[in-house]
Amino acid sequence: MILEGTAYGRPRPTYDPLITEVGPGTPCGEYLRRYWHPVLASRNVTGRPRKIRLLGEDLIVFRDGDGRPGVLYPHCMHRGSSLFYGKVEADGIRCCYHGWKFDVEGHCLEQPCEPSGGLNRSWARQPWYPVHDHYGMVWAYMGPPEKMPSLPRFEHMEPLDDGEFYYVLDNSVQSHADHAGPEVVPYNWTAINENCLDPFHVQVLHSTFSDVHFLPEMAIMPTVEWEEIDVGVIYTSRRKLETGEELQKTLTWVAPNISVNPGPESGKGRKALSIFVPVDDTHTRAFVVRRAPAGFKDIFQGMGLESVKPWTTMTDEEHQDMPNDYEAQSTQGPGGIQLHSQQHLVRSDLGIALQRRVLKREIQKVAAGQDPMNISFDETSAPISTPSGVVKTPVGVGA
């Protein structure tokens, strides 16, 4: 008997660093540093300093007493103590060791142990990054100062109607309240970024294999078309319903890391932004933000999740019985890094192939000194408009 296809002697797998590595000085890291990225929901940036990690850099985020958010390099420029232990005041943060105080742009406001509070302190500057509150989140720009673009804007996100507010999740929750994984997921950003252009996993993982995570109709196998557009890649999935209607869903991925998800309901206010922010090469934080009417409390209300066991308390057997995005995406490679050399993309992965192609092209553009797509240096330019949406039509009349 000839044994074929055994695991013996297989080649050592490798990953593609071009789209995987996000640290300072890497091609992808420099590309991603040309965009603003959310750091935390605005409500979670307070007078209590927090440690965060973004694009492989450790930082401290806080909000001063006058309400300005700040992101500073953690080690005090004096002798290195962490500003995590600093105290926030009206106009800045004061280091715990010798009391140097810095504002949100790193200017040194006081050196209390120096004669007259450090009269010559104007040379002192704590490394900082530009920060803004925008769409209910605090965003930071970590790229070259002369290339700072305007904040990203989306047509469906503004302006807010009377009473509306931005409902923000900054804890990597995509579908299932606290049943979907930890706040920062331990895997590379590409895994979750690619997932948004993978509509077939919705039919399997989210509808028929595990629990029903979204709508029951998602259990119908769709037909799908993908297309590259000016802002990224879209897919349109079509499902034939028992009623004779066709359910058509269009989702837009906006380079480099935003999915405009139409959500289960169609309509302007329900479209969400999902933003997949690399923490470092092996960790990612996902944000979800949508416009919500006054009084809106929880997107998971009415989904029957009250009886679902919290993810953190599930046993291995329960994870096996009820896998979700976390179980699938965290295991695509050791340490959360996808091993591209041992993957086999097929027709249903066309969206992923397109996304990888766009990212590699844009990374190479930045490496060649050009500006990447989807940035604007003009505050007054039109917000990004996307075709994301859900429609139900009689068969063959799809919009």
Helix (H, G, I), strand (E, B) or coil at 332: coil
Query: Which among Fe ion, ligand FES, none contacts residue 325 (Cβ within 5 to 8 A by kind)?
Result: Fe ion
Least separation in angstroms between CB 382 and ligand FES: 45
Q: In terms of CB distance, is 79 or 361 closer to ligand FES?
A: 79
CA contacts within 13 A on the Cβ side of 365: 14
The minimum distance between CB 131 and ligand FES, in angstroms, equals 21
Minimum distance of Fe ion from residue 206's CB (angstroms): 6
The answer to whether 72 and 83 have CB atoms below 8 angstroms apart is: yes
Q: Provide the 3-class DSSP secondary structure of residue 374.
A: coil
Tell me if the bond preceding 222 is cis, omega within 30° of 0.
Answer: no
Residue nearest Fe ion by beta-carbon distance: 325
Distance CA 342, CA 11 (A): 9
Cβ at position 108, least distance to ligand FES in Å:
10
Token pair in block for residue 22: 């996000």
Site residues (CB under 6 A) for ligand FES, limited to 49-78: 76, 78
Tokens of 179: 């049943």
Nearest to 198 by CA among 67, 83, 343: 343
106 or 152: whose CB is closer to ligand FES?
106
Element (H, E) at 204: helix 200-204
Query: Which one of Fe ion, ligand FES, none is in contact with 79 (Cβ closer than 5 to 8 A by kind)?
Result: ligand FES
How far is C-alpha 360 from the chain's CA centre?
A: 19
Q: How far apart are CB 111 and ligand FES at their closest, in Å?
A: 8
Provide, rounded to whole angstroms, the least separation between the CB of residue 321 and ligand FES.
51
Choice between 111 and 207, CB closer to Fe ion? 207
Number of Cβ atoms within 10 Å of the Cβ of 206: 23
**Interacting residues with ligand FES between 192 and 231 (CB under 6 A):** none
Give residue 165's Cα distance to chain centre. 20
Q: Please identify, using beta-carbon distances, which residue of 78 and 238 lies nearer to ligand FES.
A: 78
The counts of H helices and E strands in the chain are: 7, 19
Nearest in space to 214 (alpha carbons), one of 299, 138, 337: 299
**Alpha carbons 235 and 222: distance in angstroms, whole number:** 11
Single out the residue of 48, 51, 79, 125 in contact with ligand FES (rule: CB under 6 A): 79
Residue number with CB closer to ligand FES (15 or 100): 100
Give the one entry of ligand FES, Fe ion, none that residue 97 binds, where binding means its C-beta sits below a cut-off of 5 to 8 angstroms depending on kind: ligand FES
Residue closer to ligand FES by CB (options 29, 106) is: 106
Instruction: Please report how close the Cβ of residue 131 comes to Fe ion at its closest, in angstroms.
Output: 31
Nearest to 42 by CA among 131, 148, 172: 131
Q: With respect to ligand FES, which residue has the nearer C-beta, 54 or 95?
A: 95
Q: Are 290 and 270 in contact (CB under 8 A)?
A: yes
Contacts with ligand FES in 81-120 (CB under 6 A)?
A: 81, 95, 97-100
Question: Which of ligand FES, Fe ion, none does residue 23 bind (CB under 5 to 8 Å by kind)?
Answer: none
- Residue ranges that bind Fe ion, judged by CB under 5 A: 325
Judged by CB under 6 A, the number of residues near ligand FES is 10
Give 59 or 358: the residue with its C-beta nearer to ligand FES.
Answer: 59
CB of 202 to Fe ion, least distance (A): 6
Give the DSSP H or E segment for 133. Answer: strand 131-134
Q: Which residues bind ligand FES (CB under 6 A)?
A: 76, 78-81, 95, 97-100
